A = this chain, B = another copy of it.
Amino acid sequence: MDKKTLHIIKVGGQIIDHPDVLSGFLDQFALLEGPKILVHGGGKLATRLAADLHIPQQMVEGRRITDKDTLNIVVMVYAGLINKQVVAQLQGKGCGAIGLCGADAGIIRARKRTHAAHDFGFVGDVASIDAGVLEGLLEQGLSPVIAPITHNGEGQLLNTNADTIAQEMAKAMSVHYHTVLIYSFEKAGVLLDTEDETSVIPSMNQAAYQTLKESGKIFAGMIPKLDNAFQALEAGVGRVVIGPAEQLQDLVAGSKGTSIVA
């Protein structure tokens, strides 16, 4: 029997911060047929709440340290406010959304990050995904909405990168489904000229990527996303698309954004 197609869609923080754009994106997500999972980022609200509560944000090598107070804030904002507002909106649009963090139903287990020189605090790297439980929810007609919070399986919540969650989930779900992974954000896709939103590269394979990367034509901030995309394809994901959240339906159809192919 052919595998069903599963769409796993990551939506970035900047979309979360704009209610009108988010609502339009959620309209399109609600209309998408078949099994689907939404992974959302954090947005600026956690930073604002930390400032309002006078909780100092410590940075090491450009990365935020997740101390105990900061962990509580990201759990409240990501797994609480943002997750539940998105779920309530999707429910209002007729989508059977169910909001979860990685601890719920044990779907994402992570390991606290260790580093020789620095302690990044309560930051988790994905260790395993329970694809069976997610399949059970999808088969019940539910659409998981995942907040970027995980757990270590021993009672500790951890802060985890949403892009990585989407990627690891897509890889794990590829055993059960033909999986399409979509990174949707505020950009038109992978651009040849970062100043020109019309310079989208419609499709890119590994060879083309290496050539562009070596010639310095890929924006540095995009490189980790693309490295991850190719790694996902190698691990069994069917297709990876990077493009604008406002045109989700076109990303699914493959007519907008950048399609990453093996």
Contacts and interface: CB of A to CB of B under 8 A. Distances in A.
Interface of A: 52-53, 72, 75-81, 83-85, 87-89, 91-93, 96-101, 103-106, 133, 136-137, 140, 142, 149, 151, 153-157
25 contacts: A52-B53, A75-B81, A75-B84, A77-B80, A80-B80, A80-B84, A84-B103, A84-B157, A85-B157, A87-B101, A88-B103, A88-B155, A89-B155, A91-B151, A92-B151, A92-B153, A93-B155, A97-B104, A98-B100, A99-B100, A99-B104, A100-B104, A105-B142, A137-B140, A140-B140
A136 to B, nearest CB: 5
A91 B153 contact: yes
A80 B75 contact: yes
Contacts of A80: 75-81, 83-84
Contact of A84 (B52, B79, B137): B79
Nearest to A106: B91
A101 B83 CA distance: 10
Tell which of A89, A93, A105, A149 has the most Cβ of chain B within 10 Å.
A105
Contacts of A72: 81
A133 B142 CA distance: 9
A67 to B, nearest CB: 15
B151 A140 contact: no
A216 to B, nearest CB: 42
Contacts of A91: 103, 106, 151, 153, 155
A79 B84 CA distance: 8
Contact of A151 (B88, B98, B105, B151): B88
Given A53-B52, A92-B155, A133-B140, A104 B87 contact: yes
A246 to B, nearest CB: 19
Given A79-B83, A84-B157, 16 more contacts: A76-B81, A79-B79, A79-B84, A80-B80, A84-B101, A84-B103, A88-B103, A91-B106, A92-B151, A92-B154, A96-B105, A96-B106, A99-B101, A99-B104, A133-B142, A137-B140
Question: Among the interface residues A84, A87, A89, A133, which one has the most CB atoms of the partner chain B within 10 A?
Answer: A84
A76 B53 CA distance: 14
A37 B219 CA distance: 49
A92 to B, nearest CB: 3
